[in-house]
Amino acid sequence: MEPKPIDLLLDCFRKMLLIRRFEETLSDLFERGALGGTSHFCIGQEACAVGVISAAADTDYIVSNHRGHGHLLARGLDPVRVFGELMGRTIGYCGGRGGSQHMCAMDHSFLGTNGITGGGIPVATGAAFALKYRKESRLVLAFFGDGAANQGTFHESLNIASLWKLPVLYVCENNRYGMSVPVSASTSCLPIAKRAAAYSMRGVTADGMDLLAVRRVAAECIAHVRSGAGPVLLELETYRFCGHSKNDPRVYRSREEEARWAERDCIVLLGKRLREEFGISPDRLESIRTEVDAEVEQAVAEAQAAPSGDDRCALGGVYA
Amino acid sequence: MPELPDPTHETYYSAAVNEALDEELARDPAVVLLGEDIGVYGGAFGVTRGLFQKYGPERLWETPISENSVVGMAVGAATLGLRPVVEIMFMDFIALTLDQILNSAGKLHYMYNGQVTVPMVLRTPGGAKGGYGPSHSQMLTNLLVGIPGIKVVAPATPAAAKALLKSAIRDPNPVVFIENKRLYPRRGPVSGPDFVQPLECAEIAAPGSDLTLIAYSAMVPLALEVKKGFAAEGGADIEVVDLVSLQPLDTDTVFESVRRTGRVLIVEEACRTGGVGAEVAARIAAECLDVLEAPVLRVAAADTPIPSSMDLEKIVLPGIPDIVRGVHELMAW
């Protein structure tokens, strides 16, 4: 039986909170020196991941980028195993080999995050090619940022996907900065969705801070792609509230600009609508928050207690 | 030459590659071909000739000139169970695809902890053929052998080209299959549709006892000619080892030969610095020092781009006189 629309929205709210709390906790772990390497947080962009992924089928494939924790959690991966991967534990989805930017969960049709900006776009396009070749009704969601839209792979892949009518939804999360460079200084054609016209493809821009808008527009795009009419480029206007990665002092933008975007926090906006338009009580929303906080705390503890990999995990499995 | 089991006929190297593609397309519906001009035109060197007419646009996908994304697409399609075979028209153009070879094809199986495999083949003709110039002539094996997770093979004969390409297509790993423009018109016996050859094995192309001459791709016929020359004059008895597989290296076969002869000359069409020859020499030095009667020597292309003029090209590339000189130097030690 289909879940009631309000239950779906509450689940979206819960997932957005989960992503936010996950990322905040991760940031704390980095600050305490508990983790090596780096991570790219998606705090502020949660509605993009949750909105699009909740509008797709669970069997639709996802290819994501370096900023992929939101996509992983929105797809329903186990936070214990995602934390475990970031901590290099054997329980991690890739046994510690992949880490933040290279995480895959084929049992969730999650074809992987990818640490090369724009590197996942042709992989997603090829996956869509395989689906079309086998006449499957599934499609591929390809997530990337505004920075990747200036890579050759973006242009090459969109051109081919359009020519061959491949079942792929390109989701560009335009968070306004490629690391430190504002999109206005890197991109000659804005909005980015306009570039779809160059490839005879439908291009749509939507408010990435409004979960309901993202869901609605994503559902339309997905229906178009699934009908066999070809790919769509969906641009979601959003903002990362944090730096590009850990240790980013954000010298390239003002605190005033950040405050303006914080007023449009996707979680706050959705909470308000759930209360005002759907009659959900503040207590209910607060209890979801409490549950999520406890879940994340428990996940970190479980992941930390798990063992790290051994020589075989480090040195084996280069070839299939 | 080692005996070919059940040779059914004789054909050109390029036609042997074509036969392998044809037979694997017929055998496995997951096999698809991607590349520029591989359709009605039959490929820049005619290798896919006739296949488009036989299998149609459902199996042969002519791509725009977008090498990096086409290789990336092959990776993505392979992770979902297809067996794409990509043709890159000239080996120099793999520079455009290196991100996807290095960061996707070679890494996905490992970094995703075995959840996906990448059974794809990238076919490309390397090497100089006389006058193609700096961007259409290089043998870029140096770039490939440092990439973990991919296999690299460079067959020298029509028989090996056919049998190895069939193995490469059936292999669960990404394989870079290096053809050679100079080898395309060479003829030799080939086997029927059932014969495949393991990817990781070097071959003793011709036995001998005084000196091991190690080569791959278009240098193998040159090495065999040099062997013949010395034999005719009653000179050194040369054993020619065809590496065949450049990644991984079949060092067992190499060491065994070196232990018999005690002298080693490595010849390759790639630049001298940092390549297959250097790697083979280093491994021989580490494992066979006790039997070496002379230093391990190399004959390779100069560390220059390949010039367009055919006269200049000859100066840069290794030729028979260079190999002969190397043999004399080693035998005089």
The domain spanning residue B307 has which CATH number?
Answer: 3.40.50.920
Residue A37 DSSP class? S
Residue B136 designated active-site: yes
Residue B328 designated active-site: no
d(CA A212, CA A55): 10
Question: Does some domain include residue B21?
Answer: yes
Question: Does some domain include residue B1?
Answer: no
- Subunit contact B109:A164, Cβ cutoff 8 A: no
Q: Does A104 touch chain B (CB under 8 A)?
A: yes
Claim to verify: residue B212 and residue B186 sit in the same structural domain = no
What pLDDT is stored for residue A2 in this prediction?
66
Q: Which residues are bridge partners to A142 per DSSP? A: A63, A170
Average pLDDT over all residues of chain A: 96
What pLDDT is stored for residue B44 in this prediction?
96
pLDDT in tens, A241-280: 999 988 889 999 999 999 999 999 999 999 999 999 999 9
List b or e across B57-80, with b for residues whose CB sees 16 or more CB atoms inside 10 angstroms.
Answer: eebbbbbeebbbbbbbbbbbbbbb
Question: Does some domain include residue B196?
Answer: no
Q: Which are the contacts of A217, defined by CB distance < 8 A and separation ≥ 6?
A: A204, A206, A234
Contact indicator for A137, A171 with CB cutoff of 8 Å:
no
Claim to verify: residue B212 and residue B316 sit in the same structural domain = yes
Question: Does some domain include residue B33?
Answer: yes
Residue A247 or B217, more confident: B217
Question: Does some domain include residue B2?
Answer: no
Claim to verify: residue B180 and residue B213 sit in the same structural domain = no
Question: Does some domain include residue B198?
Answer: no
Question: Does some domain include residue B175?
Answer: yes
Claim to verify: residue B150 and residue B265 sit in the same structural domain = no
Show which of B159, B191, B223 is a domain's final residue: B191
pLDDT band at A110 (very low <50, low <70, confident <90, very high): very high
Residue A33 or B151, more confident: B151
Claim to verify: residue B102 and residue B139 sit in the same structural domain = yes
What pLDDT is stored for residue B5 in this prediction?
67
Give the domain range for residue B42. Answer: 8-191
Q: Which of A114, A122, A152 sits opposite B73 (nearest CB)?
A: A122
Question: Does some domain include residue B28?
Answer: yes
Structural domain count, chain B: 2
pLDDT band at A57 (very low <50, low <70, confident <90, very high): very high
- Subunit contact B75:A122, Cβ cutoff 8 A: yes
Claim to verify: residue B213 and residue B112 sit in the same structural domain = no
Q: Does B230 touch chain A (CB under 8 A)?
A: no
pLDDT in tens, A195-207: 999 999 999 999 9
Show which of B157, B191, B225 is a domain's final residue: B191
Instruction: Express as a percent the part of chain A with pLDDT over 90.
Output: 93
What pLDDT is stored for residue A1 in this prediction?
57
pLDDT band at B7 (very low <50, low <70, confident <90, very high): confident
Least confident of B119-123, B190-194, B274-278: B190-194
Q: Which domains does chain A show, CATH number per domain?
A: 31-75+106-282 (3.40.50.970)
Claim to verify: residue B75 and residue B49 sit in the same structural domain = yes
Show which of B191, B211, B239 is a domain's final residue: B191
What pLDDT is stored for residue B3 in this prediction?
66
* Mean predicted confidence (pLDDT) in B223-227: 98
Residue B1 or A77, more confident: A77
Give CA angle at B196 (B174, B12), nearest 5°.
95
Claim to verify: residue B76 and residue B149 sit in the same structural domain = yes
- Domain of residue B138, CATH code: 3.40.50.970
Which ipTM did the prediction report?
Answer: 0.96
pLDDT at residue A5 above 90? no
Claim to verify: residue B163 and residue B271 sit in the same structural domain = no
d(CA A69, CA A27): 12
Give the A:B interface size as CB pairs under 8 Å.
145
* Mean predicted confidence (pLDDT) in B190-219: 96
Q: Which of A111, A125, A317 sits opposite B69 (nearest CB)?
A: A125
Q: Which amino acid is at B254?
A: V
What pLDDT is stored for residue A247 in this prediction?
82
Contact indicator for A170, A205 with CB cutoff of 8 Å:
no
Residue B283 or A243, more confident: B283
What's the gap in Å between the CA of B101 and the closest CA on chain A?
11
Q: Which residue has the tokens 């016996």?
A: B189
pLDDT in tens, B57-79: 999 999 999 999 999 999 999 99
Claim to verify: residue B133 and residue B211 sit in the same structural domain = no
What pLDDT is stored for residue A157 in this prediction?
98
Claim to verify: residue B86 and residue B129 sit in the same structural domain = yes
pLDDT in tens, B137-192: 999 999 999 999 999 999 999 999 999 999 999 999 999 999 999 999 999 999 99
Claim to verify: residue B174 and residue B209 sit in the same structural domain = no
